[in-house]
Chain A
Amino acid sequence: MSASALPAFDRRLVPLSATMLLFCAMVVFGALAYDGFLAPQVFLNLAIDNAFLLIAAIGMTFVILTGGIDLSVGSVLALTTMSAAALVEHAQMSPLLVIPLLLVGGAAFGALQGFLIHRYRLQPFIVTLAGMFVARGLCYLIDTESIPVRDPLFVTFAEMRIPLGASSLSFGAAIAIVTVAAALWVAHATRFGRTVYAIGGNARSAALMGLPVGGTLVGVYALSGFCAALAGLTMTVYMLSGYSLHAVGLELDAIAAVVIGGTLLTGGVGYVAGTVVGVLILGIIQTLVIFDGTLSSWWTRIVVGLLLFLFCVAQRLIEGRAK
């Protein structure tokens, strides 16, 4: 933060600051309540276990920044795991071919949704809902059972560990970190990224300012599809299987992470970094529940819902004051 911004603290940073404080509070609580909570590996595991959620949530962040929503990410993710497994194991295709193919496929799937939304002025909710049905249905068409992946390259990836001091990071987590870095750059330092913000701020103005609104919208959904596919590949590596029931409801977690990360659902305001913290909060809730041992898993959902509620109400209050 530059010194000039300090006197008038940007009120739009309030949600993000609240999120970070919340994360710190949870860590402090965990450290006080449970032994071994502060071990570095606990935090690296947050990244390892939530890598695919993080990647998908990054794509979702861009969509929500334009004021849209993408319900298809969970299904596209599952479809990617299924296709990867089927192509590599059943069709004996080289993973070096399958991986780029699936990434392009995910982007194309998203681009098609974006095209329908932009060209025919359809509601993003409905279009991506249909997209969600299509992708999940296609999974079942491939196979209703889980397909194990034994391909050497995938197995190598799965076993790969990047040492960090005494602890280590998985391949998927590394991909997620690279994705975050790329997303930060795209959001902050490219015309595409800035146009995303402009559309979320005021789509009409953006068009009158001569910005490429249509292309950017299609691009944003394509990006979300790409991220979902990348998340799918990460999950294939993580689980070493393709399964049509992978990532059911992941889109809700992704949306929750984005909102908790301080991105306004009406678009235009939010940060990729916030989404990272949002995902970490979801992860740490789960970690706390596990560490506690007596708490049941459903508390995760309830707490996430509660956080979602608090953040949405806070957003309304901020918007109200802005007017």
Chain B
Amino acid sequence: MLQATGIVHAYAGKPALDGVDFSLRAGEIHALMGQNGAGKSTLIKVLTGAEVLQRGSIVLDGQRIRPATNREAQRLGISTVYQEVNLCGNLSVAENIFAGRQPQRRLTRGGGIDWRTLNQRARTLLAGLDIDIDVKRELSSFSVALQQMVAIARAIDISARVLILDEPTSSLDSDEVEKLFTAMRRLRESGMAIVFVTHFLDQVYAVSDRITVLRNGRLVGEYPAAELDHAALVAAMVGRNVAPQGASGSATADRKSAASTRETPEPPVLRTQDLARRGSVSSVNLEIRPGEILGLAGLLGSGRTEVARLLFGLDRADAGEIRMSGRPVSLDNPAQAIAHTIAFCPEERKTEGIVEDLSIRDNIVLTLQARMGLWRKLPDSERTELTNSLAQLLDIRAGNLDAPIGELSGGNQQKCLIARALATKPRLLILDEPTRGIDVAGKQEIMNQLARLAAQGMALLFISAEVDELLRVSTRIVVMRDRRQVGTLPGGCSEDQVYALIAAPAEGLSA
């Protein structure tokens, strides 16, 4: 039905897709899988007209197409439902489905929008998805899951042929996911072709007929879902072999390794007990001792970043306890976490990390200054000395430390953020994907630096999507999956062991 061949797409010269083929049949649910940067979202953008096709061809029902806008793709029969519901919560359910396409009354009957027909059609449409709600109520009074369904109803009403679901399940609980799947199966029966993008491996197997895997902008392969097991799927996504291994075996290994670390005499810098937040992560139990690097592994969406946010007071936990050096602490905002000598390098460097127009020096001393209060200013000589020495220590390559930080390369910006953290002399340093978007040499430097800091007695929590990096420096590795902590592995373990835990199927959901 839809055949994309040899798609090549680049952003400002950087290739994002390199000769990718993708085919979609009527009446199937086709999962599109890949890690961050694999090219999934670029492929979707090309298909939906958010990006104009650069090279390659897209054929829909025997006709070559080249949608230039979202609207054009919709007219051709391709609709998309995004992760965050792109509807207007202040409008009624029925209006959201028909916004911009409201049925009009004939002029002889007064003209204007025909609300009766509109509401009636919305009811019929939703009934087709097995939903019975008051379509006149405002959308925001319904759960995210229902809003998602309304978005799907809108999409199929506009064009009932190709439906792209881009991570629709990220904010749904398991009952809601089941409802969504029922609707998807029903649409499949009616002959619609559905592209399903998700990070949750178990969900892929629950509904998909075929799976296409992308990696680094290239096609890895297209497989019937029944013939590709969990381990093989993860292997295809990360690009290496993963030995099939029972999850239960490593869970016992996990307990043993936890017991062995308990022999170290020093009390843990940080210890969490059943730390949880609704909609974020459940029951996190971590323990980090001085001189230790605790690695946090997991796929995108597994809850890695959410743990960091809880530990730094960016989100408030609604259950559990955090202890620093044995004493319980409450971390309600970043300033409190900083006062408790925790430092944090966020994943989103540009939006959450650097203050772009400020100088490199100002960026480095910002947190230290904030901790010193409103009135005490770091004397200029100390400020210069501190920033110079940190720049030297971390090898920040900048012609002039008084230049705006925005002028630096990504790797050097990252080093500045580490420098900002180090300037406060933290006991616990949390790094969320500190090596993302940085070249190989830069990555190596940052890894070496982490090892050096741990050797000096600092406790580190190192979050990364790249397992080989984690293994290189971590004392222990905690694995997250589907927003739960699923096991702990000792530092010397193999990549296979980590991937086995990452990829293990959950007990509840299965095809």
Residues of A at the B interface (CB closer than 8 Å) are: 2, 4-5, 8, 10, 12, 185, 188-191, 194-195, 197-198, 200-202, 204-206, 208-212, 268-269, 322
Contact = CB atoms under 8 A, between A and B. Distances in A.
A211 B100 contact: yes
Interface stretch (B85-93, B252-260, B459-467): B85-93
A191 B113 contact: yes
B140 interface: yes
B136 A198 contact: no
A212 B70 CA distance: 13
Contacts of B140: 322
A8 B137 contact: yes
Nearest to B96: A209
B76 to A, nearest CB: 13
B141 interface: yes
Nearest to A203: B88
Contacts of B102: 191, 194
A145 to B, nearest CB: 46
A270 B138 CA distance: 13
Interface in B99-158: 99-100, 102, 111-113, 115, 134, 136-138, 140-141, 154
Nearest to B134: A4
B240 interface: no
B141 A198 contact: no
B113 A197 contact: no
A205 B91 CA distance: 12
Nearest to A323: B140
Contacts of B85: 205
Given A202-B88, A268-B90, A209 B112 contact: no
Given A189-B113, A209-B99, A5 B87 contact: no
B71 interface: yes
Contacts of A190: 112-113
Contact of A197 (B86, B91, B136): B91
A205 B88 contact: yes
Nearest to B74: A210
Contact of A209 (B90, B100, B137, B138): B100
A197 B71 CA distance: 20
B347 interface: no
Contact of A204 (B86, B112, B134): B86
Contacts, number: 75
Contacts of A201: 88-91
B88 A4 contact: no
A321 B154 CA distance: 28
22 contacts: A5-B134, A5-B137, A12-B90, A12-B138, A185-B112, A188-B112, A188-B113, A189-B115, A191-B113, A194-B102, A195-B99, A197-B88, A198-B90, A201-B91, A202-B88, A202-B89, A204-B86, A205-B88, A209-B100, A210-B71, A268-B88, A269-B90
Contact of A208 (B70, B90, B115): B70
B112 A194 contact: no
A198 B134 contact: no
Given A189-B113, A210-B70, A2 B90 contact: no
A188 B105 CA distance: 13
B95 A194 contact: yes
For the residues of B in contact with A, the DSSP-based class is loop
A195 B86 contact: no
B91 A198 contact: yes
A276 B102 CA distance: 27
A12 B138 CA distance: 10
B484 to A, nearest CB: 26
Question: Interface range on chain B: under 10, 10 to 19, 20 to 34, or 35 or more?
Answer: 20 to 34
Contacts of B137: 5, 8, 10
A83 B349 CA distance: 55
Contacts of A268: 88, 90
B136 A189 contact: no
A205 B87 contact: yes
B113 A194 contact: yes
Contacts of A8: 137, 141
- Between B70, B82, B88, B136, the greatest number of chain A beta carbons within 10 A of the residue's beta carbon is seen for B88
Contacts of A197: 88, 90-91
B141 A194 contact: no
A64 to B, nearest CB: 13
A194 B90 contact: no
A2 B94 CA distance: 15
A4 B99 contact: no
A269 B92 CA distance: 12
B100 A195 contact: yes
B138 A210 contact: no
Nearest to A4: B134
Contacts of B154: 209
- Between A4, A185, A191, the greatest number of chain B beta carbons within 10 A of the residue's beta carbon is seen for A191
A145 B413 CA distance: 62
A190 to B, nearest CB: 6
A63 B102 CA distance: 22
Contacts of A198: 88, 90-91, 99
A201 B99 CA distance: 13
Nearest to A264: B90
Contacts of B115: 189
B86 A205 contact: yes
Contacts of B71: 210
Contacts of A206: 88, 99
A202 to B, nearest CB: 5
A209 B86 contact: yes
A200 B112 contact: no
A315 to B, nearest CB: 13
Interface in B458-491: none
B177 to A, nearest CB: 23
